[in-house]
Amino acid sequence: MKKAIFAFISASMLLLAAPLAASASPVAAPSGAAAPSVANSYSPLAAKWWVWVLSQPASSNPLLDTNGSQCANQQSGPTWFLAGLFNTGGSVTRSCTVPAHTNLFFPLANSFDIELQSAHKTPAFVRGVVAQAGVQNGASNLTVTFDGTAVGPGVVKYEESPIFKVTLPSDNIFGDPTLAGVYEPGADAGYYAMIHDVLPGTHTLNFTGTLNGQTINSTYALTVSP
């Protein structure tokens, strides 16, 4: 199963099976992005992000949410995940209430592959599928603004996730109940960003990304509770 996704999504929680092997030297990032580091602090969060989004039913999935009413689903701890759009370009605006001093983690452009556990595919296989999407060199228009101010380039990083495991529900985001089951191995690659320690008040977060000719533009009206 091969899927590509844009800046959103989705995010996390579960399983990091194996650590990512260190890669060769990083390549140049798209304009406006920091030089990528393949294995970095974003990598385990990206794996959790995918588990977070893929394991939730379509009926309440934050990735398919049109107004932000589902943004708090399965969120806890110091880092919350935000979503963009699923496998399509376009714009979305959501309102979301988050706890003060939370970190916000989200993708600008990413791609993933998951394979049925029963198929016995190797980690190398799923990484090869993900590589075909060409995210590292093909993503562009990577921007993040917080309260109207562009966030520094060091906030946007390229990562390749650890191998992960996820269970798709029958009511999954692919709209196909026959896909329900346990998937392992899974892997992703993408450009993600982290906003640290958001302070109480109201804030506006916007992020964009372009991949394979599709551009997403996601805006969050954030209410940060004391």
Residue 21: predicted pLDDT: 23
Range 218-224 average pLDDT: 98
**Are the CB atoms for 166 and 114 separated by under 8 Å?**
yes
Residue 4: pLDDT band (50, 70, 90) is very low
Name the token pair of 4.
């590509």
pLDDT in tens, 124-136: 999 999 999 999 9
Residue 39: predicted pLDDT: 63
DSSP 8-state code for residue 206: E
Gyration radius from the chain CA atoms: 16
* 131: helix, strand or coil: helix
Q: Could you state, in order of their start, the residue ranges of all structural domains in the chain?
A: 2-225
Range 75-85 average pLDDT: 96
Cα–Cα distance list, 150 to 71, 144, 195, 204 (Å): 23, 6, 12, 12
pLDDT in tens, 36-56: 446 689 999 999 999 999 999
Q: Is 163 a residue whose pLDDT tops 80?
A: yes
